[in-house]
A = this chain, B = another copy of it.
Amino acid sequence: MGMIGGGEGSFIGPVHRMAARLDGMITLVSGAFSSDPAVSESTGLKEGLARERVYDTWQDMVKTESRLPAGERPDFIAIVTPNHLHYGPARMALEAGFDVLCDKPLCLSVAEAIDLHETVERTGRLFCLTHNYTGYPMIKRAREMVLGGEIGEIRKVAVEYFQGWLSSPVETTGNRQAEWRADPRRAGIAGTMADIGTHAFNLAEYVTGLETVALSADLHSVLPGRLLDDDGSVFLLFSSGICGTLLASQVALGEENNLSLRVYGDKGSISWRQMEPNSLKVMWPDKPLQIYRTATTFSTSGISSPLHARIPAGHPEGFIEAFANLYRNFAMNIQAVREARKHDPVHDYPGINEGVRGMKFLEAVVSSGMNKSVRTAL
């Protein structure tokens, strides 16, 4: 793979590289790691790349790498830049014949998203959007249970994503992660909702298979001077007529990375928390609650979940492993295409459709939030 973004000082760049390495299927061969050529170079050398495969600009990289012969050419480009640098690189890479893996949110607007969707369709390339929380084994199990009808008709969805790291104005004191997220030119129309709200939204739709059709949002910039939301709450209306709530905050002081999902059905209910990701609580009306666990071998644990675990139960698998599941599944799909095999859909990953939906969610949330929480269609 080649990588755009993720230079030294980046949070998500190293995560992508560890995730890509974990299963020994993917090798980093080239990169344009930073808008600062010096950073790009030092990152590339540190990663052991040949000097000529490290580029000053992503344009240069896509152009040059696309001309390499098959054996040397990367199979796909990973884009791990701030939001405003997703659309351009993704489009150029797709047009140049690369499969693309891109960080979320997809881009800056629904218009860009639709354009990228059209590009993916037209070029026939594969596209992976790293909504990495869908990679957890217990999320796979949850989805199988819900779609398989084990908890019956869904009645209510409650998803929540609380962090506290923006509780002080760290974007003004040199935190580069915070800087671009607080800057509308780089982050887009939303702050917290773009950064983590889209994860929560994607997770809810992924596990339930429901589609959100409208929402009402209550958005806040809790810290004075912030141009984008750092906290917000949303009433969700799904196509089935059922309702849900999505709560997100980055000023919930003391919260680390507290993403949780609860889905209530008429036969059962499920509850999952990212910070203890190897447990899935399942509640029933007429029998004791159950805790499903990553990597137990029970026949009741479904098909997909064991395929996304690496080690026996009780040996905790974490964030990097879940992230690596997206990389592995994407790589398996690329291999299958190359070998003209059908890719087994159990090795799924979020794609361009999820990217479009995320942008629709964001535009609706901001629109509603700016209009006294008026109900807004997606």
Contacts and interface: CB of A to CB of B under 8 A. Distances in A.
Interface of A: 11, 14-15, 17-18, 21-24, 47-48, 155-156, 158, 163-165, 167-168, 216, 218, 220, 222, 231, 233, 235, 242-243, 245, 247, 249, 251-258, 262, 264-269, 274-277, 282-293, 296, 298-301, 310-321, 372-375
B289 A264 contact: no
Contacts of A315: 256-257, 318-319
A288 B294 CA distance: 10
30 contacts: A11-B312, A21-B22, A24-B47, A155-B231, A156-B251, A164-B285, A168-B285, A216-B216, A218-B235, A218-B243, A251-B264, A253-B283, A253-B285, A254-B284, A255-B264, A256-B314, A256-B315, A257-B312, A257-B314, A274-B316, A287-B298, A287-B300, A288-B296, A289-B290, A289-B291, A311-B320, A316-B319, A320-B320, A320-B321, A373-B375
A285 B254 contact: yes
Nearest to A233: B245
B14 A310 contact: yes
Contact of A316 (B156, B277, B290): B277
A195 to B, nearest CB: 13
A339 to B, nearest CB: 16
A233 B231 contact: no
Contacts of A168: 285
Number of copies: 4
A14 to B, nearest CB: 7
A247 to B, nearest CB: 6
Nearest to A152: B253
Given A21-B24, A275-B314, A373-B375, 15 more contacts: A14-B310, A155-B231, A216-B218, A218-B243, A253-B268, A253-B269, A253-B283, A254-B264, A255-B283, A257-B313, A277-B316, A287-B300, A311-B319, A316-B319, A320-B321
B167 A285 contact: yes
Contacts of A268: 253-254
A312 to B, nearest CB: 7
B298 A286 contact: yes
Contact of A156 (B231, B242, B299, B320): B231
Given A164-B283, A292-B288, A310 B314 contact: no
